[in-house]
Amino acid sequence: MKYLNYPTSVQIELTESCNHKCFYCYNSWQLNKSKDAYMTKENSIVLSNLLYTDIKPFQITLTGGEPLLNMPALLIFSEKLNKQSIHFSINSNLSLFNNDNLEKLLHVSDNFGILTSLPHYKKEQYEFITNTKNLEVFYSNLNNLVKIKNIPVGINMVVNKNTLKDVYDEAKFLYENYGIKSFAATPVTPPTNTPYEYHKLTLSNEETIRLCYTLIDINKDFGMKVDILEALPKCFLPEDLINNETLNMKKRSCSAGRSGITIDYKGNVRSCSHDTAHYGNIFENKFSDIWKVLEPFRLNEFVSEECLPCEELDSCNGGCRLYTLKENNVSNKKDSRMIGPIKIKKPVIKNSLQIEEFQKYFIKKSILFREEDKQVYTFFNGYSETIFVNNSFKEFINTLKNTESFNLNDLTKIYGKENEEQLKSMLNLLFNKKFLLKSNI
């Protein structure tokens, strides 16, 4: 993250209000009974412009609370981001995603996906966790989104000790009944300032490992893309899990204040959605100044000293910094799940991804880039991969973007046989980072 002068991802909380009352919600500390807990239309317009001019993220999530409780703001952001050709996601519990609200959204944008939480697929457990009785509404709206409107929906199950045994069955149910292709199962994280006895529900290290293997089984049996939406300390995991490509554990690190931020409905900037501290207000301070205040996150100042010698630090960042805050009231303590510095034996990769001389390839048209510093550019592939390149590499990528398809032989004719090895190296990097895809032509 050496060159990041801007975040790669931003979560925008359009409201603190929510029509669900999940007992584990990380926003429980924000419970606000004020009728004014919504981002105004005026501030929505200002922030949507600042995203483009000052903050410059590649990924944006519109969340809450429940964002559909603030439809005016949601529509403003959706329309603006669509005009800027920025893909965004909406984090919703789906209960308000009826056809009327969906059509309003589709009228201004069709360039979004949805992440929703399904704490349990069975009615009794769902109602207990959410304190609602709207599971049938959830399934009806899910069916409309996925099967009728063909909108990509990913589902996350927040897992506690009582629901761990049901993770596989929930994924199977969603796959068989709704064709869900993306499923995450995330260990419950205790919210700050809550009286609930979370030690009775938080997964142990052994249970978290079991959850990981369950997700791998789900991927194997149903072909679903699986994930854990939390940065786990790598040191308590078996090496085969850390190196497992299905879960991409090597790429899941704490992004708080490093590559991601959260902006609440008042414009207050936090390091992530779990953080209670404010580091400035986007409507009152320059974003460059706020980003500077967050620099200690990027300099590892909030990482425990015990983690600093670890060879996996860059792929972990010491686990979730806010998890430690909840446990210790300070964020530079050791994550209780952390065991100690480790050195992971790199797996021998058989048939590693190498471009083929006569195979045709193409560059994804959706990739984005921005200048970071002194002609250093960040490219983003639309998933989660970023690469840093110089100006000549940037021009090379943009040239490829404007070419329908090509192979190594084509490029060698253009750039010269003497540059073939360098071309191979550049193309291999792009291929392995999923910027470059095989063509069927």
The pLDDT of residue 10 is above 90: yes
* Averaged pLDDT of the chain: 88
Rounded to two decimals, the pTM is: 0.90
The pLDDT of residue 347 is above 70: no
Higher-pLDDT residue of 148, 249:
148
pLDDT digits (tens, 9 = 90+) for 291-303: 999 999 999 888 8
Which residue is it, tokens 């979730």? 320
421-428's contacts with Cβ under 8 Å and 24+ in sequence apart are 424/354, 424/355, 426/393, 426/396, 427/355, 427/361, 428/353, 428/354, 428/355
Of the ranges 5-19, 132-146, 171-185, 303-317, which one carries the lowest mean pLDDT score? 303-317
The pLDDT of residue 348 is above 50: no
Q: pLDDT-based confidence at 349, cuts 50/70/90?
A: very low
Of the ranges 45-49, 179-183, 334-338, 397-401, which one carries the lowest mean pLDDT score? 334-338
The pLDDT of residue 202 is above 70: yes
Cα–Cα distances in angstroms (integers) from residue 292 to residues 170, 208, 267, 298, 395, in the given order? 43, 35, 17, 10, 30
CA-CA-CA-CA dihedral for 42, 266, 65, 72, to nearest 10: 0
Both structure tokens of 334? 């050791």
Residue 67: the pLDDT is 97
- Residues in the chain, overall count: 441
Longest dimension (CA), the chain: 68
Residue 1: the pLDDT is 46
Higher-pLDDT residue of 325, 261:
261
Going by C-alpha positions, the residue among 401, 291, 363 that lies closest to residue 57 is 291
Residue 350: the pLDDT is 43
Both structure tokens of 127? 């109602």
Q: What percent of the chain has pLDDT over 90?
A: 61
Which residue is it, tokens 């404007």? 402
Residue 309: the pLDDT is 87
Omega cis (within 30) before 260: no
Three-state secondary-structure class, residue 311: coil
pLDDT digits (tens, 9 = 90+) for 64-77: 999 999 999 999 99
